[in-house]
Structure 1
Amino acid sequence: MGNQRVRAGVDIGGTFTDVALEFDGRIHTAKILTDYQKPERAIVRGLQAAAEEARISVKEIGTVIHGTTLATNSLIERRGARTAFITSEGFRDVIEMRTEGRFEQYDLGITLPTPLIARDSRLTVGGRLNAQGDELVPLDIAGVHRAIELLRHGGYESVAIGLMHSYRNGRHEREVRDLIARALPDISISISCEVSPQIREFERFNTVCANAYVKPLISSYLNRLTGALEAEGIVCPLYLIHSGGGLMSLASAARFPVRLLESGPAGGAIFASDIAARFGLPEVVSFDMGGTTAKICLIEDQAPKTSRVFEVARTYRFKKGSGMPISIPVIEMIEIGAGGGSIAHVDDMKQVRVGPESASSEPGPACYGRGGKRPTVTDADLALGKLDPNNFAGGSIQLDTAATRSAMNEHVATPLAASVLAAAHAIAEVVDENMANAARMHAVENGRDLERYTMIAYGGAAPLHAVRLCEKLGIKRLLVPSGAGVGSAIGFLRAPFSYESLRSAVMSLADFDASLVNQLLDDMETEVSGFLRDAGHQGEARRELKAYMRYAGQGWEIPIAVEVGRFEPGSIARLRESFVKSYTALFGHAVEGLDLEIVSWSLSLRTEVTSPQPVQAIDGDRCGNGAPPVAAAHREVFDAKTGKPLRCAIFTRDKLSPGIGVDGPLIVVERETSTYVSPAYRVIRQQDETLLVERRN
């Protein structure tokens, strides 16, 4: 076993694999191109590089915390296992019919997302439970055996099982699973009553299908990762970050890989929350832009917003409903295909389009010199002067300016009859406006005004684009923390052990069944306690209980915080009072004369983490009047707002004096990223090395 004082966070992204190694209170980092054939090789190389910087052996690492977008990318790119879906008779097409809602009401040519499982791989069996979980029709055992034969001869690697009302009673699903497991011991099986025991069959069915689809891929990867670490002498606990922002065991991750879908972005939200707590910021929008995607998350009172359902891969202008719904506890954010590696092209209407296709790390942007021939956002940033070709990624990658100009000219400039500089400007503006639109959409969906918020930017590409987003969104203050280029990996080191269990059981307060509720809570307590025990946590954890309630007749519910404990018939009055108070706060009024319904319950356990050391921000009103630092160099950088190249000062973060404001235009360079500050903003380095970028007037 390694030294428990040495902890490593590892984040695999679509382009880079980031490592943050914490030793004696210091963070040592590494950024390695992601290895698509064997992602574990990049992890080992990154750990070796970070350990070398810390002057320790990799064998001294005492804990590895890992997050990955491999499961998400597998769903988006449809690179999962050959999967079948078994459901109740009459419900074969639920995942294709969806909810029959239209995410774009007036688009006559609307195209719904293709279901994850094709129709010829969706099988049905007889048997039926009612909404209370009571058996109406016995399970058709002969029908299950017929399905098994189809699975046997269809070459399926994985099977998802989702039967009607199994969230109330999973007996039929377990019977089907056991019969398949005995007949086909090598096939991977997922059942919805374990993956997502929640009401609403479309979301539940889609979630269990997603779990089954990525399960063989993730299981194989985790086995290879464990072997690769052990081969290097790294024998220590390995944890995964789940989508809710907590640590989970290797075994749980292999069983429920759908919980890993937002694991990398969740680490970034934890990182931003830690920075928000450090500076005492009540309203924050986090902006994470890596090589493949960009993520926007609202953080209020130093905690990210959470949800029970989120969408993967929205396909239509970031519209809610145009993606693949996954019903698991998750940190709520919006994610779009806009990263440094996002590929640009000109469409038939002579409009510049950027993403969601990405050059990733193989072959990468044209400027990487690894065979990429199409222009990307990184190529545009290089052409605009925002990147130094001789000092990219700390000098580890020499950027090819000629390759960038060639790709830009062939695919964008020539079709538009424009210069390479104009083409690069168009690409940057399109991707920045896409991200700004996504942020506006997310804010509107949550009823928030972003102009009051502080932005926290992290990820390799975010600090280059963050000021332009602030200009578009009217945001006055931006923070770029130390280590921003590997922010998600650092966030992993701040994550608690946590888990949330969900159960659905619709009941009105008029028919409140205290014994049933207590039984549900006992089952949830067993689940969450076992989860934390499997992860190796033996200490105390804070419990939070929520009831998801609505007025009878409404289609959706709101979360109500409930005191943890046993329920009695007299608990109804407290539930009613809490709901009316929360509903009035959200919608401005209560509704008289309607009964209330409880739809679902959630119980979460969360361990306490060390609070960050508070930092008093030094802003324009309190910054010093000392001599400004001397720039290391100057170069021309094209500024989007002024529409012209400007002479831009170049600084390294460590050469900026704490508390001394420096007006833009300027660029602050460091090994993992660079921060561009436009003429309308100034930068003030804080005592903890965070950069505060604020509007000058």
Structure 2
Amino acid sequence: MKRVSVDIGGTFTDCFVVWGQDYIQAKALTTHHNLAMGFNEALGKACKVLGLELEDILSSVDSVRYATTLGTNALIEHKGPKIGMLVTAGYEATVPLSRARGYGEGLDNLGQQDMPNARRPDPLVKAHMIRGVRERVDFTGKLVMALDEEDVRKQIRDLVDLGAQIIVVALVNAVVNPGHELRIQEILLDEYPSHLLGAIPIILSHQVAGRKGEYVRATSAIVDGYLHSTMYHALSALEQNLRAHSYDKPMLVIHNSGGMAQLNSTDALQTIHSGPVSGIGASEHLAMQAGLGNVVATDMGGTSYDIGIVVEGGIKHYDFNPVIDRWLVSVPMVHLVTLGAGGGSVAAYDRMYKTVKVGPESAGSDPGPACYDRGGRNATVTDADLVLGYLDPANYAGGSIPLNPRRARAAIEDALCDDLDVDVLQAAKLIREKVDDNMANGLFTELRARGYDPKDFTMLAYGGNGPLHCCGIAQNLNIDRILAPPLSSVFSAVGAGNMHQLHIHEQSLYMVLYDSNSRHIFDDHDRFNAIVADLKERGTQDLLRQGVPLAEIRHSLELDMRYGNQLVQTTAVVPNHEVHGPADVLAIISQFSNDYGKRFGEGSQAPEAGIRINTIRVAAYVHHETVRFEDIKPAPREARKAPPPPAGHRTCHFVGSDGAFDTPVWSREAIEPGVEIHGPAIIASDVTTFLVDPGWTFVAARQGASWFLRGAAVERLN
């Protein structure tokens, strides 16, 4: 297997190259003005390890996979085209009103508690650019009023005269009868054919989001349209960069649904958060291969801290109506929580609470933390880690970014010391304590809100800063086992390399499997089977269009189910894709009951309220060869080995401990599998730093995996 995958974050571009049996990881600073430059630099570092040229690798690999934050950045910076929008006449105010919730969506908890001062986000489409067209179909898809085509032509011309650069169409009930949206597309192409210079792109809402919900479907289409040009030109430029270096295959783009597709089968909306989703995919792959059970995936990079949940049984957590930036959309996205807590997160004095606040603002990669010595003046988490002794100024990022301790101390002193009346070391500890608390609180809230106990999970710590902060985070959660996985600093890029081509199609509905009032079991088997067959066919056609052989296409069926009118719904992965009698229906009900009991406790099931399906979802996918992880379980206690002599010592300061610690430092390359090291200790590598806090034990495993254990876990985890 020969493969290149890349994850571009807000600070670093991570590259992972599989070259036969060799796995190479490399990082470079993200070049926001031209992402291809950072990609080429990171890949160039991997080329040096292999002793090859860029063209040698790109001409030989089977694929290049790409996860990007470009769409997220474009939304934040409001860099998009002027949008014109066509809606059903009478519904022109649907988007501006935003269900009366537009003030709060996308704000953090503190912002949502201060709604009187909340501000509605700047609209992506102005109110005067939304035009109604005369047409109507009812909720069953039945025609009520035929499309007035002359009215459509007039409205399109008016929008173009007003400067519309892209047209979004979102008609009422278009998901059950898309005929009018498709006809508007034909009319637009007739008015402005694609061969004309300046032809107008068109986005149809039913092709972006397949579920009911007029507002969220409209905003999904708007966000997709807003990002369309940016993503098209940027990804096309990347593909041209690959072509210029002898890569002649289709470029594959990671989707936030947990799969990937060729560029010509990718919507802009599907690329949002694709990097963190890749990390969750890698966590799932590792957990299944290594038998880790329940894991919580935590990715701490330079800008953010991303949290995802992977539980046994293959059940995936999706956001069905995720909020992207400030916009509620309707696309199935692998669930993740993103906190503004990374190595570049800015620390400042909170005058209201008279303490330290950290994030969500980030120094990014340019100018970066003050210690980068590139003009940054804000105190950051990385500056605090340097002052506390955890980082080697001469060998940070493999020596490619020399750090300046004097600037780090000065930035922290200016930001905090006078206001808090503390010295620099105390201020650095407060920064460290605050950012670890923020991440622990976010992680605890996420697990508890979904009915899970943190003690039942293994914490995966990856990203450039994950192994540096994991002990402090886990200590606050009473988690006693942490795994820094193989290739932890580029783990999301590893996940991008392991993705399968996948398309998800779903249909929202109201299907009662068990009516508790009449004690009737669902018997409209043909309806269920027809919906599943249609969703399968749509996914199959997506993959056939990309050249996938029919024999290689597989399908997975998921049902979103709930008891009665409960707000919480549970996803059941159903092995049988057809129902032909009561036994098949009861098998689905039984599986749902088991999954519900595992999640919320046996006995919490409530069949007396009725059982219903809210969404039927089919994933069409094709398996690709993946990275094989070795047995990464730690060696039994009796087989563990003492470490070699340390390479040196460093004076370190730890939260919760007074005074300085003369902390031994090892190189990760010198630590063999089975070696046990008691904290405090530092294990350094070119791409990350493993910090073992006092009270924790570090155990090296195969393939570069590293365990952090404490308490009884030191003895029992074998």
Q: Distance in 2 between matches of 1:610 and 1:455?
A: 23
2:361 pairs with 1:346: no
- Which stretch shifts more, 511-520 or 356-365? 511-520
In structure 2, relative to structure 1, the CA distance for the partners of 1:30 and 1:584 (3 Å cut) is closer
Contact 1:665 1:678 in 2 (8 A): yes
Query: Residue in 2 aligned with 1:195?
Result: 208
| AA partner of residue 256 (structure 2) | S
Residue from 152, 165, 169 that aligns with 1:144 = 152
Among residues 231, 238, 246, which one is paired with 2:244 in the alignment?
Answer: 231
Aligned counterpart for 1:169 among listed residues 170, 174, 177: 177
The one-letter code of the counterpart of 1:546 is E
Moved more, 204-213 or 286-295: 204-213
The question of whether the paired residues in 1 share the 8 Å contact of 2:572 and 2:592 is answered with no
Aligned to 1:267: 278
Which residue among 128, 135, 138 is the counterpart of 1:130?
Answer: 138
Moved more, 77-86 or 335-344: 77-86
SS of the equivalent of 1:109 reads: helix
What are the residue-to-residue correspondences of 1:444-459 with 2, within 5 Å?
Answer: 444-459=448-463
Change in CA separation of 1:84 and 1:665 when aligned onto 2, cut-off 3 Å: farther
Q: How does 1:100-115 map to 2 (within 5 A)?
A: 100=100, 109=116, 111=118, 114=121
Alpha-carbon offset, residue 600 of structure 1 = 2.7
1:215 maps to amino acid: H
Q: Are 2:699 and 1:687 equivalent residues in the alignment?
A: no
Deviation at 1:533, TM superposition (A): 2.6
Give how far 1:571 is off: 8.3
- Give the match for residue 517 of structure 2: none
**Alignment of 1:207 onto 2:228:** no
> Is contact 2:294-2:456 (8 Å) kept?
yes
Partner of 1:502: 506
| More deviation, 411-420/378-387 | 411-420
Name which of 621, 627, 637 aligns with 1:606.
621
> Which residue is equivalent to 2:340?
337
Contact 2:286 2:629 (8 Å CA) reproduced: no
Offset from partner CA, 1:192-233 (integer Å, 9 cap, x none) = 211111022233222222211111110001110011111122
Pick closer, same or farther for the CA change 1:145–1:430 going to 2, 3 Å.
farther
Structure 1 residue 99 displacement after superposition:
4.7
Aligned: 1:559 with 2:555: no
Structure 2 vs 1, CA of residues 84 and 468 (structure 1 numbering), >3 Å: closer, same or farther?
farther
CA distance in 2, matches of 1:159, 1:579: 44
1:659–1:558 CA distance, 2 compared to 1 (3 A):
closer
Q: Which residue of 1 aligns with 2:394?
A: 390
**1:556-575 CA distance string (max 9 Å, x none):** 75434445555568788448
Question: Does residue 491 of structure 2 align to residue 487 of structure 1?
Answer: yes
* 1:287 CA displacement: 0.8
Partner of 1:22: 18
Kept in 2: contact 1:501–1:528 (CA 8 A): yes
- In 1, the alpha carbon distance for the partners of 2:708 and 2:386 equals 22
**C-alpha displacement of 1:299:** 1.2
Aligned to 1:252: 265
The one-letter amino acid paired with 1:109 is: P
TM-score (norm 1): 0.90
SS in 2 for 1:639: coil
Question: In structure 2, what is the Cα distance between the partners aligned to 1:666 and 1:548?
Answer: 46
For 1:137 and 1:358, the matched residues in 2 are separated by 52
Q: Distance in 1 between matches of 2:281 and 2:95?
A: 33
Deviations 1:259-295 (A, max 9, x none): 1112111211122223323431111111101111110
CA 1:54/1:439 → structure 2, altered by over 3 Å: closer, same or farther? same
Q: Secondary structure at the match of 2:52?
A: coil
Q: 1:618 — aligned with what?
A: 634
CA distance in 2, matches of 1:681, 1:310: 40
Report Cα offsets for 1:18-48 as digits up to 9, x if no partner: 1111112211121011111110111122222
Using the alignment, how far apart are the partners of 1:90 and 1:578 within structure 2? 45
Change (3 A) 1:512 1:145: farther
Tell me if structure 2 keeps the 8 A contact 1:9–1:64.
yes
Inter-partner Cα distance in structure 1 for 2:119 and 2:137: 30
Aligned counterparts of 1:499 and 1:270: Cα–Cα separation in 2: 15
1:459 and 1:529 map into 2 onto residues whose CA distance is: 35
SS of 1:493 mapped into structure 2: helix
Provide the secondary structure at the position in 2 that maps to 1:339: coil
Aligned to 1:675: 690
Question: Which of 485-494 and 276-285 deviates more?
Answer: 276-285
Deviation for aligned residue 1:672:
1.1
Structure 1: how far apart are the matches of 2:17 and 2:399? 21
1:605 Cα deviation after fit? 2.1
Letter in 2 for 1:637: C
Check conservation: 1:277, 1:302, Cα contact below 8 A: no
Aligned to 2:303: 292
> Residue 559 of structure 2 aligns with which residue?
547
Worse-matched range after superposition: 241-250 or 115-124: 115-124
Give the Cα–Cα distance (whole angstroms) in 2 for the partners of residues 280 and 603 of structure 1. 26
Contact 2:305 2:342 survives alignment (8 Å): yes
Q: Write the mapping of 1:20-169 to structure 2, written as runs, cut at 5 A.
A: 20-59=16-55, 60-61=57-58, 62=61, 63-100=63-100, 109=116, 111=118, 114=121, 116-169=124-177
The structural deviation recorded for 1:17 is: 0.6
Change (3 A) 1:113 1:214: same
Q: CA separation in 2, counterparts of 1:13 and 1:404?
A: 23
Aligned counterparts of 1:597 and 1:112: Cα–Cα separation in 2: 38
What is the match of residue 10 of structure 1? 6
Matched, 1:526 2:505: no
Paired amino acid for 2:385: D
User: Would you say the 8 A contact 2:94–2:215 is kept in 1?
Assistant: yes
Is 1:581 equivalent to 2:593 in the alignment?
A: yes
Which of 351, 370, 377 matches 1:373?
377
- Residue identity opposite 1:233 in structure 2: S
Question: What is the CA-CA distance between 1:612 and the residue it aligns to?
Answer: 3.8
Q: Which deviates more from structure 2 when the two are superposed, residues 140-149 or residues 444-453?
A: 140-149
Tell me which moved more, 572-581 or 626-635.
Answer: 572-581
Listed one character per residue, the Cα deviations across residues 284-343 of structure 1 (whole Å, up to 9, x for unaligned) are 1111011111101111127573315253467xxxxxxxx533322222111112111222
1:441 aligned to 434, 445, 458, which one? 445
Query: Partner residue of 1:319?
Result: none
Alpha-carbon distance between aligned partners in 2 of 1:659 and 1:583, rounded to the nearest angstrom: 36
> Matched residue of 1:581: which SS?
helix
1:465 aligns with 2:469: yes
Moved more, 67-76 or 176-185: 176-185
State the shift of 1:235 in Å: 2.6
The structural deviation recorded for 1:94 is 3.5
Counterpart amino acid of residue 497 in structure 1: Q
- How big is the shift at 1:507? 4.7
Q: Which one-letter code corresponds to 1:618 in the other structure?
A: P
Aligned mates of 1:613, 1:369 — CA distance in 2? 38
CA–CA distance in structure 2, aligned partners of residues 418 and 117 of structure 1: 49
CA distance in 2 between counterparts of 1:130 and 1:354 reads: 50
**1:633 corresponds to which of 648, 651, 667:** 648
Q: Is this contact kept in 1: 2:630–2:703, CA < 8 A? A: no
Whole-Å separation in 2 of the counterparts to 1:582 and 1:182: 55
Shift of 1:126: 3.0
Equivalent position amino acid for 1:246 in 2: G
Secondary structure at 1:133 match in 2: coil
Identical amino acids, percent of aligned pairs:
29
Alignment gaps of 5+ in structure 2 = 514-519, 713-718
Per the alignment, residue 318 of structure 1 pairs with none
RMSD: 2.9
Q: Do the aligned partners of residues 34 and 119 (structure 1) sit closer, same or farther apart at CA in structure 2, a change above 3 Å counting?
A: same
- Is the contact made by 2:371 and 2:408 (CA closer than 8 Å) also made in structure 1? yes
When structure 1 is superposed on structure 2, of 408-417 and 472-481 the one drifting more is 408-417
CA deviation after TM superposition for structure 1 residue 459, in Å: 0.6
For 2:573 and 2:670, how far apart are their aligned partners in 1? 48
Tell me which moved more, 296-305 or 41-50.
296-305
Q: What secondary structure, in the 3-state scheme, does the structure 1 residue paired with 2:608 have?
A: coil
| Amino acid aligned to 2:84 | A
Asked if the contact 1:277/1:612 (under 8 Å) is kept, the reply is: no
